[in-house]
Amino acid sequence: MSAADGRAGSSGRVAAAATAGAARQRSPWRDL
C-alpha cells in the first residue's frame, strides 16, 4: 500500500507541476 501511495503521490505532483508550467507558458501575463 505504501508503495502504491508513493507512486500516486509522485505522479500527482508531476501532473500538477506540468499543468502549472503549461498554464504559465500559455498565459505568462497572468503572473504579472
Regarding pTM above 0.85, the answer is no
Our CA angle for 25, 27, 32, nearest 5°, is 105
What does pLDDT average to over the chain? 68
- Across the range 1-18, mean pLDDT stands at 67
Q: Where are the beta strands (DSSP E) in the chain?
A: none
Q: How confident is residue 28, by pLDDT bands cut at 50, 70 and 90?
A: low
> Which set of grid coordinates corresponds to residue 15?
501532473
CB 4 within 8 A of CB 10: no
Q: Where are the alpha helices (DSSP H) in the chain?
A: 2-26
* Spatial separation of the C-alpha atoms in residues 15 and 8, rounded to whole Å: 10
